[in-house]
Amino acid sequence: MTDAPGQTDETRLSLPSPDGTTDPWQWLEDVTGDEPLAWVRERNAEAESELDAEPITDELQDQLVAILDATDKIPHVGVHGDFVYNLWTDAEHVRGLWRRTTMASYRTDAPEWEVLLDLDELSEAEGEKWVWHGSQSLRPVEGEPYARVLVTLSRGGADADVTREFDLTTRSFVPEGEGGFVRPEAKGDAVWMDADTLLVATDFGPDTMTTSGYPRQVRRWRRGTPLAEAELLFETAAEDMVASPWHDDSVDHERWGVVQMHAFYNTTTHVLDPTSGELTALDLPRDIEVDIHRGLLVLRPRSDWAYAGRTHLAGSVAVVDLADFLAGDAEPTTLFEPTDKAFLDDVTLTRNCVVLAVLEDVVQRLEVHTRDDAGQWRRTELGLDALGLGRLDSVHVRPYDADADDRVWLDASGFTTPLGLLLADVGDAEFATEEIKTTPERFDATGLVVSQHFATSEDGTRVPYFQVGPEAPDAGPAPTMLYGYGGFEISLPPGYQPVMGKAWLERGGTYVLANIRGGGEYGPAWHQAALKQHRHRAYEDFAAVARDLARRGVTDAAHLATQGGSNGGLLTGNMLTQYPELFGAVVIQVPLLDMKRYSHLLAGASWMAEYGDPDTEDWDFIQHFSPYHLLREDVTYPPSFVLTSTRDDRVHPGHARKFAAALRSLGADVRSWENIEGGHGGAATNEQRARMSALMYAFAWRVVGS
């Protein structure tokens, strides 16, 4: 049953039935329909009228735009041949400049950039709102410069995008009429095979997309051939999640293949024989994460893996030569095994090294594993103190040129430590490190203290969280923002957040980052502990942190706000509906909320490995964490703010619309705001990001700031 378009939420109580059989707000799922968009505009106007009346809003927006458009931020680069490439945005170039310079120039305080593509000019010329989605260079023959690039652009920031061939020599796109590669708008991907051939996964027409809305097919597309006639190499089942091409373009080790993703954490990797077109599936359990680089197969099992006479533990890292593995003559070497304290967070590959980021109670260290000429692996451990960082800071490791040498970029920061860019040679025994770029402080951190604490969840589990705020135990409850995610094995380490710091910390607020189950902070088991019927554990963990903050006297319910987006929006939606007494304000961004219909909306079917299938008996447990279906007439809900994007083609904006509408029908204190652009990130330009953040923080300060 669906209410007719045009019925307003003020006319009567309108809630979905708890069993999910009726949905009075389903008409709001029509993303671009006239009636739903009229409803969106009305809600936007109400929210803006309310929050723009707050003196803080305009001030915050100006401050946040200045931070996001700062000309002294670090221009992060990728290396291709003799140049480093960067996508730059500022006040004059809101969509961005794709540009390049030499490494020698980049090291200076004022690099000389060569502009390759102005996205603002392109958007104006083509009548589009292009958002940069990345580039992929064709590795040239030895001695030749890089000349051709696949550039990927999105309309308004959606996941669906287009790929167009770009000529670095002429600094222009290669026209389709002149044989240039153009992949039309769709969710998908393309990789180079050679100068005249791509491997492509995209929407090839009827029955070529999965039920999750991603490509089923990978084809070999030769220049001059219509895309629809490209040679089919692989097709996965419609019920699988996606099939996509992969390419390791390492010199002397070049490989191609297909990743067949049956579901999250359930993948088969295929290696392509480019001559015969035959694909060989790697004989591995489907829950092993696979990386292939320079002929090295890097394996990360999510469950214990018995192979070649030994067991590789879940959360470990093993390596073996790909050729040996394909030949059946493989004895993987274990580089890392988790302990009761240490767990893998990330892997970075260079020419000769495997760099591991390891977490111990969410405190980071690095391990560098190097193979000598005899094939033996040597381990070097590196603490953050060796990089001049504090114990509660963190680094993100990226290869400089993974095919050429063992240098890595280190993006180093902490909650109160501004971002710095280091270049380190991990192949050097002395681990030589050079500071390349620094950024100034974006907010006043005077008097702020960073600390780590542990809450006890309902089942006795110890849950870590970070706290940043003034050290004033006798000042009474502090306005506090509690943030979490708790899904998809994603870890939340410390890091510099200039927008949050300026809008919240500098004004006297306290910020808390919760490392709840569902994330990856303690390896695969930490994630798996909150899957499907165990989802409630993530919410119990988060509630335990909220209670611990009150127990410690940091804050109380009246001064505690919570914020989360995407899966984190599902988290905060559950805080609103299951733990309303713990919070004074709830911010729900680009969220999943209707867990009865989520698998039928956009990419929702791809997440059933995380949440379960609501069209089966799984609904028996899913309904207990579906916020849309947990709303009740006899509950007083804390003030809430629901934000989404019309152009979000990953998590359907209908989740946010319907939830806000249902809350309004209850007479709850709720406002909603939907940005027309932005995709799943919620905003497509710095101005939009600043606007969204200013509204959100103005709401939080008004509700819990006094």
* Structure tokens that stand for 623 in this block: 């309904």
Q: What's the pLDDT at 2?
A: 42
Greatest extent of the chain over all pairs of C-alpha atoms, in Å: 77
Instruction: Give the C-alpha separation, 617 to 662, whole Å.
Output: 26
Instruction: Give the C-alpha separation, 216 to 218, whole Å.
Output: 7
Instruction: Give the C-alpha separation, 156 to 678, whole Å.
Output: 6
Among candidate residues 14, 137, 250, 566, the one labeled active-site is 566
Q: What's the pLDDT at 673?
A: 97
Q: What's the pLDDT at 495?
A: 96
Q: What's the pLDDT at 682?
A: 64
Q: What's the pLDDT at 1?
A: 34
Instruction: Give the C-alpha separation, 566 to 436, whole Å.
Output: 34
Torsion angle of C-alpha atoms 359, 365, 369, 370, degrees rounded to 10: 160
Instruction: Give the C-alpha separation, 324 to 331, whole Å.
Output: 8
Q: What's the pLDDT at 4?
A: 42
From first CA to last CA, the distance across the chain in angstroms is 43
Q: What's the pLDDT at 10?
A: 45
Among candidate residues 93, 247, 527, 680, the one labeled active-site is 680
Instruction: Give the C-alpha separation, 660 to 680, whole Å.
Output: 18
* Structure tokens that stand for 164 in this block: 């167009």
Instruction: Give the C-alpha separation, 154 to 129, whole Å.
Output: 8
Instruction: Give the C-alpha separation, 246 to 270, whole Å.
Output: 9
Query: What CA–CA distances, in Å, run from 678 to 130, 155, 499, 557, 604?
Result: 11, 9, 18, 32, 19
Q: What's the pLDDT at 285?
A: 97
Q: What's the pLDDT at 474?
A: 61
Query: What CA–CA distances, in Å, run from 345 to 261, 355, 364, 492, 496?
Result: 22, 11, 9, 10, 18
Q: What's the pLDDT at 681?
A: 74
Active site residue 123: no
Q: What's the pLDDT at 430?
A: 83
Residues 6+ apart with CB under 8 A from 1: 22, 23, 24
Using DSSP, state whether 429 is helix, strand or coil: coil
Give the residue among 94, 67, 85 at the shortest CA–CA distance from 157: 94
Q: What's the predicted TM-score (pTM) here? A: 0.93
Q: What's the pLDDT at 126?
A: 97
Give the residue among 93, 165, 77, 84 at the shortest CA–CA distance from 130: 93
Active site residue 566: yes
- Tell me how crowded residue 265 is: count the other CB atoms within 10 A of its CB: 20
Q: What's the pLDDT at 601?
A: 96
Instruction: Give the C-alpha separation, 440 to 550, whole Å.
Output: 34
Instruction: Give the C-alpha separation, 555 to 473, whole Å.
Output: 10
Residue type, 251: V
Query: What CA–CA distances, in Å, run from 415 to 84, 482, 511, 550?
Result: 28, 14, 10, 22
Instruction: Give the C-alpha separation, 332 to 319, whole Å.
Output: 5
- Chunk the chain into consecutive blocks of 10 residues (it has 706) and report each block's average pLDDT, rounded to whole numbers: 43 81 96 96 97 96 96 95 96 95 97 98 96 95 92 94 97 95 97 97 97 97 96 97 96 95 95 93 97 96 93 97 91 95 96 96 95 89 86 95 95 96 92 93 96 98 97 80 97 97 97 98 97 98 98 97 98 98 98 97 94 97 98 97 93 97 97 83 82 97 94
Q: What's the pLDDT at 432?
A: 85
Contact 52, 44 (CB under 8 A): no
Instruction: Give the C-alpha separation, 270 to 285, whole Å.
Output: 13
Contact 217, 208 (CB under 8 A): yes
Torsion angle of C-alpha atoms 33, 34, 39, 44, degrees rounded to 10: 90
Q: What's the pLDDT at 6?
A: 42
